[in-house]
Chain A
Amino acid sequence: MSGEAFELRGVEKSYGDLSVLSGATARFEAGCAHVLMGPSGAGKTTVLRLLAGLEAPDAGSVACPAGARLAMTFQEDRLLDNLTATANVRLPHARLRGAALEAFLVRERAALAAVGLPVDCRPVRELSGGQRRRVAILRCVLADADALLFDEPLKGMDDATIAQVMDYVTPLLAGKTVLWVTHDPREKDLLPNPVLWTVRDGNVFKL
């Protein structure tokens, strides 16, 4: 993926009468972390959804590195309520069997313990909101992906939990394209040397 990038070129996007992006242009280089900040409702999530291919622009174009494998956390947990935390984290690795599955399970259990989650057989519907959020983050960072998209992943977490989660997550982000959306400017300090962006007035600006 080196040399390639996620790009918005003159992107316009509206929802009904509400114009969210108007001629947004930005190039997010691959292999490094990008933090997109801005007030609520500025269009940060829309940018992420466009880059993930979940939305089509009304005008302009969106480019993604060819063959890039994506992983993402959404504003909601989007977990499979009936399954355990490990089964949810393993979702992007649905084809694992035998020894490979066992090896990944060991890694998953270590990850759950590292971010302070219980390692048991409970379905995730029995976990608290904060615990579910951490499961969603682990599903994203343990996916075999080239680009990781985070939509306000730490929302609602206390500082101690954030520190615990980032201690585990940060080394896993090295060398990957990270697009991190937040409305909390303090989060830019959690990632190593991120490229900072702000989304406002329907456009995306590099800071």
Chain B
Amino acid sequence: MPRAGEKNPETGGRLRTWGVRLLAVAFWLAAWQLAAWAIDARIILVGPLEVLARLGELAATEEFWLSVATSLGRIGLGFLAGVVGGVLLAALASRVRAVRELLAPVMGALKAVPVASFVILVLLWVSSSELSVVISWIMALPIVYTNVCEGIAQTDAGLLEMADVFGLTGLDRVRLVYLSRVLPYFRAAASLALGLSWKAGIAAEVIGLPDLTIGEHLYDAKVYLDTPSLFAWTVAIVVVSVVLTAAVDRALDAGLRRWEARP
């Protein structure tokens, strides 16, 4: 414990870590700006200052926020469907061996096939406006399925035996014994799947070109050689991804803490 007047070593360490990180970011931003000045060709590379200015212009338009909301809504829907589907299938597969064996090649294929192949294939079956929903669903499903299956498999046989002795059955057994083991696996899967769903969903939009989406704007920026917009939209994608992942992680952590701390 630090004495009065001394700095708390933990706080000091955290500040130093953040300081180093900010310095690293500042270094690369400066390098980027210098490179843009050196190349001096806006069509190839624009500096961070210009990108920020363009992002500011875009953010002042209604179309920008509508596009972000549309992309977010569709990809979020696919992600949620993937999470729900992954959990339900994992529960079923853990109980019925035939289902587990039947799903193994499907989940393997979903993880191995490149996103671009899926996008083109799925585009043959659904409209471009539904494409990002399906693609983000395809991204989230196998991750959540695999992790939840692992969590269920890792449930201690001794705890299940204990539940048998105390006559804990059905939903109570799932809620108290399995959930206790599966939640950390689920939390990791949800966080990973969200990031992947978001990136793959935007990629799908770039190929499918549904109206009023981030992907469509990215494509337009590329076609019209509007490099500042291309960078600005990319920054917007990264910012949304970081904010979204942090928000979901915090919500899941808070939920987990509340669940653990209930009397």
- Interface of A with B (CB < 8 Å)? 52-54, 69-72, 74, 76, 78, 80-84, 86-87, 91-92, 94-95, 105, 121, 123, 139, 143, 149
Assess whether A87 is in contact with B262, with CB atoms less than 8 Å apart. Answer: yes
| Cβ-defined contact, B158 with A84, below 8 A | no
In the complex, what residues of A have CB within 8 A of residue B260's CB? 82-84, 123
Q: What is the CB-to-nearest-CB distance from B180 to chain A, in angstroms, rounded to a whole number? A: 5
Known: A52-B165, A54-B165, A92-B166. A80 touches B177 (CB 8 A): yes
Cα–Cα distance between A74 and B260 once the two chains are bound (Å): 23
Residue on B nearest A88 in the bound complex, by CB: B176
Q: Is the interface of A mostly helix, strand, loop or mixed?
A: loop
Inter-subunit contact B176/A94 (CB<8 Å): yes
Q: Which residues of B contact A82 (CB under 8 A)?
A: 180, 183, 259-260
Determine the chain B residues whose CB is within 8 A of the CB of A78 once the complex forms. 156, 158-159, 161-162
A86 to B262, CA, bound (A): 9
A71–B163 CA distance with the chains assembled, in angstroms:
10
Beyond A78-B158, A78-B162, is A86–B263 a contact (Cβ under 8 Å)?
A: yes
A residues less than 8 Å from B168 (CB atoms)? 91-92, 94
CA separation between A151 and B1, bound complex, in Å?
A: 42
B interface residues, how many (CB within 8 angstroms): 22
Decide: A72 near B165, CB < 8 A? Known: A81-B180, A94-B176: yes
Q: A82-B259, A83-B260, A143-B166 are in contact. List 13 more A-B contacts (CB 8 A).
A: A70-B165, A82-B180, A82-B183, A82-B260, A83-B262, A84-B260, A84-B263, A92-B167, A92-B168, A105-B263, A121-B261, A121-B263, A123-B260
Q: Give the contacting residue for B172; candidates A70, A72, A95; CB below 8 A.
A: A95
- Note all chain A residues with C-beta closer than 8 A to B7: none
Residue of B162, B180, B261 near A72 (CB, 8 A) is: B162
- Please report the C-alpha to C-alpha distance between residue A87 and residue B162 in the assembled complex, in whole angstroms: 15
Which of these, B156, B164, B166, B262, contacts A91 with CB under 8 Å?
B166
Q: Which residues of B contact A86 (CB under 8 A)?
A: 263
Asked whether any CB of chain A lies closer than 8 Å to the CB of B14, the reply is no
Within 8 A of A (CB), among B211-263: 259-263
Q: Is there contact, CB below 8 Å, between A83 and B166?
A: no
